[in-house]
């Protein structure tokens, strides 16, 4: 995962936490739910990036085997 992706995902997660907390304090259930949704999206993006990284590493290993 690129550093930019990590930063973007972390920013989305932190923004979601801020929205959730603000929603709790103000009693705004919609804002609270939106914050939880933002956090879930950031977590999903991280998971997808981790899978892409793992697949890339596996492909590189296979290429290395065939070069020998």
Domain ranges in the chain? 3-67
The pTM for the full model equals: 0.78
Tokens standing for residue 64 = 């290395």
Q: Considering just the CA atoms, what is the radius of gyration of the chain in Å?
A: 18
CA 57 to each of CA 26, 66, 68: distance values in angstroms, whole numbers, following the listed order:
46, 15, 17
If we measure between CA atoms, which residue out of 27, 51, 28 comes closest to residue 43? 51
Chain centre to alpha carbon of residue 14: 11
**How many Cβ atoms from other residues are within 10 Å of residue 57's Cβ?**
10
User: Which pLDDT value is given to residue 68?
Assistant: 65
Instruction: State pLDDT tens for residues 33-65.
Output: 999 999 999 999 999 999 998 998 899 888 887
């Amino acid at each position: 995962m690129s550093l930019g992706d990590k930063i973007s995902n972390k920013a989305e997660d932190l923004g979601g936490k801020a929205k959730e907390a603000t929603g709790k304090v103000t009693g705004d259930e919609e804002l609270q739910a939106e914050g939880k949704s933002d956090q879930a999206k950031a977590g999903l993006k991280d998971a997808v990036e981790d899978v892409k990284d793992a697949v890339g590493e596996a492909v590189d290993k296979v290429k290395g085997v065939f070069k020998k």
